[in-house]
Amino acid sequence: LLLWHQPNTSFNLDSTQCLEIPGQDTNVGKKTQLLDRGQWANKLEFLLAVAGTLVGLGNLWRFPYLCYKNGGGAFLIPYILFLLTCGIPMFFLETAMGQFTSQGCITCWRHFCPLFEGIGYATQVVIAYAAVSYIVIQAWAFFYLFSSFTAELPWASCRNTWNSEWCVESGKSNVSSNWTAAANSTTPATEFWEKRVLGLSGGIEEIGSLRWDLALCLLLAWILCYFCVWKGVRSTGKVVYFTATFPYVMLVVLLARGLTLPGAINGITFYLYPDPKKLVDPQVWMDAGAQVLFSFGICQGSLTALGSYNKYNNDCYKDTFVLCLVNGGSSFVAGFAIFSVLGFMSYEQGLPISEVAASGPGLAFIAYPRAVAMMPLPQLWSICFFIMVILLGADTQFVSLECLMTSITDMFPTVFRRAYRRELLLFCLCSVCFFLGLLLVTEGGLYFLQLFDHYVCSGNNLLLLSVCQSVAIGWIYGADNLYDNVEDMIGYRPRPLMKICWLYVTPTVCLGTFLFSVVKYKPLKFNKTYSYPTWAYALGWFLGLLCVLLVPLWIIFKVTQMKGTMMQVSITARSVQALGWTLGFFLCGVCMFSSSLFGFSTGTPASSHNPEI
């Protein structure tokens, strides 16, 4: 059960072969009816697909903010350390698992360590939550894009029906109140975001009505996503030539424009100015770890799914370093594009950059639109920016959907690898996700979105899954065995650093970061002011723990299915280790849940939530 596949045996599923599922009978007649699983047409398609899903909105609006917040250039020290000890080793591990087995992130575990197949299910739950919520950002971006085709940008003035008497344009006085920059004043960009786009309600209890314009934008985003994925890697591999490269064109254009604006140099200095004193703050290290896990797609299943479509002899070891360099470099360069514009915004308004800098939706849908409204030809720069946001989100979204499709079709190949069944399954999956996403485009939808983001698609879940995955492969399956598999694929043995990380460094660093985040935990607050009701916190923790507890629950399920007495089942040291990890996860889950419900926590909130939202 622990080692169903012998590690020293070459395992290579050709794309034209039918997968036989243990325990199911298949005959030759049925095999000939199955469609090919498919492979990337060439290496470039794989590289672009992975680069597209890695270089997402977190690179654009999260990494630059974390840099300035956590010591500027000094933040690169913990970021690079986490990248070397966790990001690159786990990236290589997941890609190699998919390529060696030619299976998605659930069925691949049947060839390495079936007892830990629950890790695959847990990653799919996380990515399913993300697929439902992440695409809402694209819907917002579509709304802003369509609103940019006007004579005057609607967030540039206070002369709109949704504006209140507290609205103050930059550098102007409020005529009705005859004051400027009072404590309760708002900007046109803020009111456009909260009142026109979201129609934001007073709390999660007030779901309110559906925002039909946003619902139509959400439908448009899902239609585009469907046609990008409907033929599998044959269609995805062609789409990424545009969706993965064009955002870089837009980024270069916006960077060139930002560097020519007055005050840009002040913004860049603020972004990079090193403050080594920040490195003694544990929160800085927590932020670096969470950012690496999310921006590199660790324990989200996408790397395994994309790697499974590689040719068996593809050099995934070298690909790992190339893609990690591209992802890290993109994050760093994006900071110049963002902070040059924020420096201009600070210069125009006479405010310190710390007051105009923001992260997440506040940057993309308030700060940056407000900045482009001050530029010449604001409509042009607004269109360029939101096209870039849409494409950055599109890559990540349709790769997430492809990951779900790969897992399902690999589990039931005789059912879904037939004519038109994949397309039908994809249609049903997109439809279900669309209707679930309608909750997030109501007047109270943003409260639910932040709740899912903070508790379900959280750094804590990914940290625990990283620990479990590195232990399962490094200790139970055996790091040397995986090295043998990799050598069989690429023709040479990787350097031992990866093996050392899987065995010791990665689980230690991830577990330590997780424990720190639990100690520093405080309940989520919306906009740092609104406290969620108790039932909302309980819902968030229930959904979050559901992901992680799939790992020990699957172990218990598989153990109970074994024949023989418990003594016979637990006779090997590896089984004892697995059962020990089961108990450990249960204890961690109970402690975390108790601390959240009864307030057994101290310190400041940990920034471990999903940087994509």
Distances (CA, A) of 422 to 229, 408, 590: 10, 10, 40
Domain positions in the chain are 28-598
| Residue 143 pLDDT | 95
Phi, psi of 569 (to 5 degrees): -65, -40
CATH of 28-598, one of 1.10.357, 1.10.3470, 1.10.3280, 1.10.4160: 1.10.4160
Could you report the per-residue pLDDT of 552-561, keeping only the tens digit for each?
899 888 888 8
| Residue 3 pLDDT | 43
Residue 399 labelled as part of a binding site? no
Residue 120 labelled as part of a binding site? no
CA 168/CA 173 separation, integer angstroms = 6
Residue 235 labelled as part of a binding site? no
What number of H helices and E strands is found in the chain?
A: 29, 2
Give the chain's residues under pLDDT 70.
1-33, 170-184, 357-360, 564-613
| Residue 598 pLDDT | 42
- Reported as type and span, the H/E element at residue 530 is strand 530-531
CA-based angle 561:558:562, to the nearest 5? 35
**Half-sphere exposure of residue 258, counting CA atoms within 13 Å on the CB side?**
30
| Residue 171 pLDDT | 55
Could you report the per-residue pLDDT of 232-263, keeping only the tens digit for each?
888 888 888 998 888 888 888 888 888 888 88
Percentages of the chain per state (helix, strand, coil), in multiples of 5: 70, 0, 30
Rama region for 502: left / alpha / beta (φ>0; ψ in -120 to 50; rest): alpha
| Residue 420 pLDDT | 83
| Residue 360 pLDDT | 65
| Residue 25 pLDDT | 42
By DSSP bridging, strand 530-531 and strand 525-526 are antiparallel
| Residue 368 pLDDT | 82
CA 175/CA 538 separation, integer angstroms = 46
| Residue 492 pLDDT | 92
Residue 395 labelled as part of a binding site? yes
Distances (CA, A) of 172 to 176, 181, 349: 12, 9, 10
Q: Which residue has the tokens 């007051």?
A: 355
Residue 601 labelled as part of a binding site? no
| Residue 611 pLDDT | 36
Residue 392 labelled as part of a binding site? yes
CA 198/CA 194 separation, integer angstroms = 5
Residue 14 labelled as part of a binding site? no
